[in-house]
Structure 1
Amino acid sequence: MKRTPYILLFVIILSSCKLFAQGELKNYQEAEKWLWNNIESKIYNSNIYPNWIGKGDSLWYSTKTRKGTEYFLVDIKNKKQKELFDHQKMSEILSSYTGKELKSYGLKLKNIKLKNQKELDFKLDTFLLSVDLVSYNVSKRDKPKKYTSQELVSPDKEKIAFIKDYNLFLKSGDEKKQLSTDGNEELSYGTSISWYFVRNESKNQQMEYEIDAYWSPDSRYLICTKYNRKHTQKLFMYQSKPKDGFRAEVYSYERPIAGDKDLTRVSYVIFDTETGKTIDCDLPENATFLEYGFQWKSNTKAYTLRYYRGYQKRELIEVDVETGKSRTIVSETADTYVDPNMHIYKVNKDTDDVIWSSEKDGWHHIYRYDYASGELKNQITKGEFVVREICKVDYKKKKIYFRANGNEKGDPYYTYLYSINFDGNGMKLLSPENAYHTCNISPNGKYIFDNYSRVDLPDHFVVRSAKNGKTVINVAKTDIEDIIKMGWKAPEVYTVKGRDNETDIYGVIFRPFKLDASISYPVIDGTYSGPQTIRTPKTFRRGLINMDVPMAQIGFVVVTVDGLGSAFRSKKFHDVSYKNLGDIGAPDHIKAIKDLAKKYPYMDVNNVGIYGHSAGGYDATHALLTHPDFYKVGVSSAGNHDHRSAKAWWPELYMGFPAEKHYDEQSNFFLADKLEGKLLMVHGNMDNNVNPAASIRMADEFIKANKDFELILLPGKDHGTCYYDKYFIRKRWDFFVNYLMHKQAPKEFKIN
């Protein structure tokens, strides 16, 4: 009898363990409901894109409704909307024609073209069909002639340029002519390689080239890129899980890394296809990743955009194809960088205006230059705001329609629609709603299709007047009734002061939907400090369909912070990260989380973790190495742990060229001995964006420093499929539960 209390205590402990385990399982099951693929099916009237008909007085679109897939016709002029066709009739005639039973609202029509609102062309499975929308007669269409990626058809459709054996050829009717004769594997004509192409070295796979050439509008001249691969370097991947057999296979791909001096370069050769004359273009060789291809001002004048290593200079250059001589139209330099991610330019063949964007006054604005002289005519937009997109340039009315952020009160990242005259006068707001707006303008310039939303406001799809911004017709609104019933609550948009105690910093807080403010929640920093963008979602879909929402349902408060050095603010704000990617915005992240915890005491700032992918993977590891007093647990996926371990353009843009000592100083490799917290690294072993060698070498540095860490290599996964891999999602949850929540994760939970 004396042992009874101990037995009871033992039973109570066992019971509580079971209850605890069941509670964790329930949280995992709740999190699973909110994963991307699972929640996508619960929202309706989303992802709507306009397809303008004719001049643009009407449009059609398709979307997933509660009935299924529906196709709609919007008559803007008469402010009416109806189904594009009778779905029941259409399913019946197509079922009869194809011999397959098709549901009325399950039609998956592709490549749709609507002719005069009476005839619908589309692809259904392998069928190319045309349906008369009055009689509903079906007819089969001929397959259009297909051309390979090594062929380029002239504008008049009379000639085909193609590459063969590293040379450029021309076909006209039955006649073939060789335009170049000196091409070889090292110096070849038109032989571009897709960014995504990886070559199976083990099977000696043939290179898959894509023709890189540009026809003049009159189909006479052909500008062809000449590739110099004498010093091309490759990156390699090890496919441990081949399709056949048991021998692992080696894959390679062309990719310069930051600081490389030996890399693929391009120059240009011009061919006069009428006379057979070959003209050398005087533009010097340049690295392939700095070239932007050609467009045409006239039949004999082409123009291109060119950057230089380190991105401190860009030029708009014209080439006279009759002589091969080039001239600079607009040239811009900066002490830090001229950002290709924040640049827009427009050249029109019928005017002398060059519409050009620049950050030279400290904000990203639109300027107007003279095409012939290169002289600045005037600055079009001015003020403490950022032009994000030029939606349309109306050269007849001398008016520009554009999106910009920061000019209205509230969140400075929300984009709004505006119009402005070429001379900089008459700037007009066309979308007054406090939200993030998009812009798609009708061909006739009368209407704007606008999709606006916030993380706490479902998508609204409207057609506006381009003249005054007034809503002409409400097209649709995203239906979220199902997720509200599931318990969805909008994340909170917050603002705090940054590290300087002056600058406003913005972000979002994701909480468990069943938050109990009386208990303490570990905090996770969802990070991506790549300076080309921001991490915080600004639209409803981005706020709903991401990894932060399910993570919060496990029992964490997840926070995003867009600190100094990130995009879409002033040039000064952005430049904080220049040659300083190791900053990762951490001082702003740490201050923001601490400030938020003062407001929300249930946020446990003594248990803070961090996770991120790609540049965010670098961040997560770097945070543990440089701020171990704050960040205790990290999950790092596809991390570019040294900025010389991935493609060249991104680090050279933000870290500069050449790759000097500061690259070493900000490399995670050289900080391995600083690791104190718990770290999980994950990488797809077929990642050709950030090569898996980055994480493997990082592991080697930790091993040499005798540090504990975990590494998972996902067989066959690339940069994207690694992040969305279900096994990795579960392991990420487990890692934070085990080491940040200090609980035992459910064993081998299987995500469906």
Structure 2
Amino acid sequence: MKSPFHCPFLPLAFLVWSSADAHAAEHEPYRVDAVPAEAYDRAVALTTVAVQGTVKNPSVTPRWLPGGEAFWYRRDAGDGTEYVLVDADTGSQRPAFDHEALAKALSTLDGQARAANALAIDAMHFDEALSSVDLKAGELAARCDLRAATCETLPAWRFDPFQLPSPDGTRAVFARDDNLWVRSLSDGEERQLTVDGEQDFSYGTAPGVVPGKLNMIRSGIDGPLFWVTWSPDSTRVAVPRIDERRVRQYLFTEALPADGANAPRSVAKRIALIGDRDSTRFDWFVVDVASGTVRQLDLPPDCHGQYLGYGHDTFWSPDSRRGLIACFSQRADRLSLLVFDAQTGETRPVFEDASETFLDLNHAFYGSTGANIRFVANDGVIVFSERDGWGHLYLVDMAGGDAPRQLTRGPWLVHDLLFADEAEGWFYYTAGGREEGRHPYFAHLYRTSLQGERTELLTPEDAHHRVIPASFFLGGTNTNFSPDRRYFVDNHSRVDRPNRAALRRNDGTLVAILEEADASALYAQGYVPPEPFTVKAADGETEVYGVLYHPKHREPGIKYPVVEQIYGGPQTTVAPVRFEQAAAIDRVGGQGNLAGMTEFGLAVVVM
């Protein structure tokens, strides 16, 4: 059977909810025309835009220093922000630098006044001695001597948000004019790696189906690289060439163009719709960065990404000699996992899967780490499959002919495979539904021995745990683990309890509580968390989980309309399990401004 996350589309429901006994003889209908004008102001105050900043320290994203013994993060403090350095072994905290001195040094550099509690630093890279830092604050890139309290300007490319740095930090690749380029991160020298890219047939740029593509077109930028990966030894990159030349153009009309033009304007991007004969195609190449050699991978013609119009996930072996690429059929009902030779481009299948419906390599598309595929040493691979009816992990021996060995099993679902630690003999992943009596959609972090014989729960609190950075779309992101994988930051919350950020060791033992989110300003703005509930489905057996936002200012004996919020999955679920989701601070997929509807006397249900 499919996992419970793969449910059919739910119809939009507009039901009736009563604030009194359901069997009362008479109920007055709710009058929409009786909504007072001030209710609209209260509803606006609960929209996503309005609630930003109303929760202090909603989560902690660690920025690890080389070696993994310390990290820094940005903290909301008083009426501003500060930057904190944390010792991972003890949990002790101290200011990352003298905020007053750095504010003065930056102001001296560019002539703009800065307050110590409003530095607005977007990125920082410390030296090993923590005596110098490269940083970006708004449009300013600077290198600052923290002992002398002086700064000098750095070139803007040092913090180019669209470049992809190599693992060793010496260079970065980026897109320009539909081709792939490389830049030295020591002196900024640039070199073109591919030469035959063209419009709608480019290297590593976003296809039309990617959110944000319209803004890239409007801005005239190639944007960030998509699906491009560096080899661990920083010598090669795997890059797709994205062919949209035969894909239909999809027109969007700007009634009020952002540049202030007084006439509507049409903007086109290419998107294949269901039933179209021509869809986006991906050819794959391995580029040797030093020599400039470009080698095409030998892929079968029916090799698609998991989702229509999206690319493939690729994974490199630790020795950088080989990689993995996942090929789906166009209907996503067949999967062939191929290993490629980085030197020759030759490929061969190492794992096959099939389904009567569709296949997944992760239970969700939004807010996940992408395909659950990870190398174990150089000849083994852990891969996700639903072949036993639940989403679990299997070990594939690429050197021999043994059948895949199941590593996890039971009536529960693996979410994100994070990594395998061969030296310690564990692999780490998140999963839901394994803990008796808990919400099955809550994610917990686990580790299981590579023999599959022992599993340990690492995040014991009865809440939803996140050990990956929050984002709309993550495919293949890093985790909150330290580079040496000895520590991790665990953000956990429930819809009715704000986030708590904990620092833990890799065996789950608690080092320190870093932050407890403060939602007092959000509550003062009128926010009331929803009520979690469970009901039986039509079969009388299946438990359905959801939340109910109660109508505000309800009166006994009055019937209130019920709106059911839906989203046409199955690549995500929209019933919130985290505080930030429920409050619309962090929206994923089809989650909307639900709390504000309650100001109009509406009950809102999400399942």
CA contact (8 A) 1:214 1:294 kept: yes
Output the amino acid matched with 2:427: I
- Determine the structure 2 residue equivalent to 1:534: 573
CA contact (8 A) 1:450 1:464 kept: yes
Task: Quote the Cα distance in structure 1 between the aligned partners of 2:322 and 2:335.
Answer: 19
Q: Does 1:432 align with 2:460?
A: yes
Match of 1:495, SS state, is strand
- Of 74, 87, 90, which aligns to 1:75? 87
**1:155 Cα deviation after fit:** 8.3
CA contact (8 A) 2:68 2:483 kept: yes
Match of 1:88, SS state, is helix
Q: Does 1:383 align with 2:416?
A: no
- Determine the structure 2 residue equivalent to 1:137: 150
CA contact (8 A) 2:563 2:603 kept: yes
Task: Quote the Cα distance in structure 2 between the aligned partners of 1:262 and 1:479.
Answer: 51
**1:177 Cα deviation after fit:** 9.5
**1:497 Cα deviation after fit:** 0.4
**1:464 Cα deviation after fit:** 1.6
Report Cα offsets for 1:663-689 as digits up to 9, x if no partner. Answer: xxxxxxxxxxxxxxxxxxxxxxxxxxx
**More displaced 10-residue stretch of structure 1: 421-430 or 235-244:** 235-244
**More displaced 10-residue stretch of structure 1: 499-508 or 479-488:** 479-488
CA contact (8 A) 1:163 1:189 kept: no
- Determine the structure 2 residue equivalent to 1:462: 502
- Of 232, 235, 254, which aligns to 2:247? 232
Output the amino acid matched with 1:26: E
Q: Does 1:421 align with 2:449?
A: yes
Report Cα offsets for 1:50-71 as digits up to 9, x if no partner. Answer: 1122332322111323331122
Q: Does 1:283 align with 2:296?
A: no
Q: Does 1:53 align with 2:65?
A: yes
- Of 88, 108, 113, which aligns to 2:100? 88
CA contact (8 A) 1:369 1:377 kept: yes
- Of 478, 497, 500, which aligns to 2:536? 497
Number of matched pairs:
537
Task: Quote the Cα distance in structure 1 between the aligned partners of 2:316 and 2:32.
Answer: 68
Q: Which structure 2 residues correspond to residues 267-278 of structure 1 after superposition, within 5 A?
A: 267-268=283-284
Task: Quote the Cα distance in structure 2 between the aligned partners of 1:97 and 1:193.
Answer: 36
**More displaced 10-residue stretch of structure 1: 255-264 or 423-432:** 255-264
Say if 1:470 and 1:498 are closer, same or farther in 2 by CA, change over 3 A. Answer: same
Output the amino acid matched with 2:312: Y
CA contact (8 A) 1:191 1:226 kept: yes
**1:403 Cα deviation after fit:** 1.1
Task: Quote the Cα distance in structure 1 between the aligned partners of 2:151 and 2:322.
Answer: 46
Match of 2:558, SS state, is coil
- Determine the structure 2 residue equivalent to 1:707: none
**1:232 Cα deviation after fit:** 3.2
Match of 2:511, SS state, is strand
- Determine the structure 1 residue equivalent to 2:431: 404
- Of 309, 316, 320, which aligns to 2:337? 316
CA contact (8 A) 1:224 1:268 kept: yes
**1:159 Cα deviation after fit:** 11
Task: Quote the Cα distance in structure 2 between the aligned partners of 1:539 and 1:95.
Answer: 39
Q: Does 1:65 align with 2:93?
A: no
TM normalised by structure 2 equals 0.76
Q: Does 1:560 align with 2:596?
A: no
TM normalised by structure 1 equals 0.63
Task: Report the RMSD for the aligned CA atoms in angstroms.
Answer: 4.1
Task: Quote the Cα distance in structure 1 between the aligned partners of 2:70 and 2:423.
Answer: 23
Task: Quote the Cα distance in structure 1 between the aligned partners of 2:551 and 2:563.
Answer: 12
CA contact (8 A) 1:232 1:264 kept: yes
- Determine the structure 2 residue equivalent to 1:709: none
- In terms of Rg, which structure is larger? 1
CA contact (8 A) 2:35 2:600 kept: no
List gaps (5 residues or longer) in structure 1: 1-18, 562-752
- Determine the structure 1 residue equivalent to 2:470: none
Match of 2:544, SS state, is strand
Task: Quote the Cα distance in structure 2 between the aligned partners of 1:245 and 1:219.
Answer: 46
- Of 298, 312, 315, which aligns to 1:292? 312
CA contact (8 A) 1:151 1:162 kept: no
Say if 1:464 and 1:516 are closer, same or farther in 2 by CA, change over 3 A. Answer: farther
CA contact (8 A) 1:341 1:532 kept: no
Report Cα offsets for 1:273-300 as digits up to 9, x if no partner. Answer: 9999886643233457364164443555
**1:244 Cα deviation after fit:** 6.8
Task: Quote the Cα distance in structure 2 between the aligned partners of 1:26 and 1:412.
Answer: 39
- Of 115, 122, 126, which aligns to 2:135? 122
- Of 324, 332, 343, which aligns to 1:303? 324
Q: Does 1:337 align with 2:358?
A: yes
**1:141 Cα deviation after fit:** 3.5
Task: Quote the Cα distance in structure 2 between the aligned partners of 1:152 and 1:487.
Answer: 44
Structure with greater helix share of residues:
1
Match of 2:86, SS state, is strand
Say if 1:517 and 1:376 are closer, same or farther in 2 by CA, change over 3 A. Answer: farther
Task: Quote the Cα distance in structure 2 between the aligned partners of 1:78 and 1:170.
Answer: 40
**1:406 Cα deviation after fit:** 0.4
Q: Does 1:549 align with 2:562?
A: no
Task: Quote the Cα distance in structure 1 between the aligned partners of 2:503 and 2:161.
Answer: 39
Say if 1:255 and 1:155 are closer, same or farther in 2 by CA, change over 3 A. Answer: farther
Output the amino acid matched with 1:556: L
CA contact (8 A) 1:290 1:307 kept: no
Output the amino acid matched with 1:424: G
Task: Quote the Cα distance in structure 2 between the aligned partners of 1:484 and 1:344.
Answer: 38
Task: Quote the Cα distance in structure 2 between the aligned partners of 1:82 and 1:200.
Answer: 40
CA contact (8 A) 1:329 1:374 kept: no
Task: Quote the Cα distance in structure 1 between the aligned partners of 2:559 and 2:240.
Answer: 61
Output the amino acid matched with 1:231: R
**1:489 Cα deviation after fit:** 3.4
Report which structure shows greater RCO (CA 8 Å, sep ≥6): 2
